Amino acid sequence: MAIIGHIILNVKDFEKSSGFYDALAEALNFQANYIHEGDWGVMKSYRNGEHNFWIRFDKGTISNDFVRNVGLDHLAFRVESKDEVDTIYNTLLEREVLITRAPKTYPEYANQYYAFYFRDPDGIPLEIYFE
């Protein structure tokens, strides 16, 4: 059986994105566990057990705005309860994060599917859900 080993998200502004993902990771019980920096740029890892995602900033790259096209559509994080969805939603609202869909039930996905959708500082679509 295979699992996804890690996901890397490229970011335009490391400090801005690092602050955003630090807060999100804390709400999701992920820990910032590793930073790798060099002449090329910097990467930061967030881990929760065997699950891992990274943010990466390349100094020499001119970044384009995120476009939902071929490639990543969105990244979803599953939590353990509807209350947890709502708590994270309220935390992100306080940080003035762009929410694209407020929490609600999506019976077309699954009976108990409850989620909200938002964007990171670069416009990458993210989701928090309970099922």
In degrees, rounded to 5, the angle at the alpha carbon of residue 30 between the alpha carbons of residues 70 and 3 is 55
How many CB atoms lie under 10 A from the CB of residue 104?
10
Query: Domains of the chain, with CATH numbers?
Result: 1-58 (3.10.180.10), 72-131 (3.10.180.10)
User: What tens digit of pLDDT does each residue of 10-48 get?
Assistant: 999 999 999 999 999 999 999 999 999 999 999 999 999
Q: What share of the chain in percent tops pLDDT 70? A: 100
Report pLDDT for 41: 96
| Separation CA 121–CA 90 (nearest Å) | 17
pTM, 2 dp: 0.91
Among 85, 88, 11, which Cα is nearest to 54's? 11
User: What tens digit of pLDDT does each residue of 66-85 get?
Assistant: 777 778 889 999 999 999 99
When pLDDT is averaged across residues 97-120 and rounded to a whole number, the result is 96
Report pLDDT for 65: 79
Strand ranges of the sheet holding 114-119, from the earlier edge strand across to the other edge: 75-78, 125-130, 114-119, 99-105
